[in-house]
Amino acid sequence: MGTFSVMVSVGNPRGGDLVEVEALVDTGASDSMFPASLLESLHLEPRSQVDYALADGTEVRFGRGQAVIRIDERDGICPVIFGPEGEDNCLIGATALQILMFAVDAVNEVLSPTNRGRLGFGGKL
């Protein structure tokens, strides 16, 4: 699957301005990531430290918190990683895509809004 970027806005769930950045769509990542300095400038703080496995198998530890993420007209409170510095360190992971209800169209390199969620079978409904 190829990769592509989208414009996203990120902000503090308690209010304030949203900052727009370009982020790589990465369905192989569970959480979204932004440079720690960007998240800290929005007065966000990590709520925990989490170990992550990179694609090459390397283990890393980053702070993890919550931020508002907006793509197009959809927004929600999503988990975010306080990542390393660099404007190329912005990515949108699978959890945010599920929270915001976007399907990935990798062929056309777009996110498609959906109104269909997925449930696992938990017995009689």
pTM, two decimal places: 0.88
Q: What is the pLDDT of residues 53-108, one digit of tens each?
A: 888 889 999 999 999 999 999 999 999 999 999 877 899 999 999 999 999 998 89
Q: What is the pLDDT of residues 2-53, one digit of tens each?
A: 679 999 999 999 999 999 999 999 988 999 999 999 999 999 999 999 999 8
Is residue 120 predicted with pLDDT exceeding 80?
Answer: no
DSSP 86-113: STT--EE-HHHHHHTTEEEETTTTEEEE
**Is 1.10.760.10 the CATH classification of the domain at 4-113?**
no
State the Cα–Cα distance between residues 39 and 30, nearest whole angstrom.
18
Instruction: Find the helix or strand (DSSP H, E) in which 37 lies.
Output: helix 36-41
Q: What is the mean pLDDT of the chain?
A: 91
Write down the domain spans for the chain.
4-113
Residue 83 identity (one-letter amino acid): G
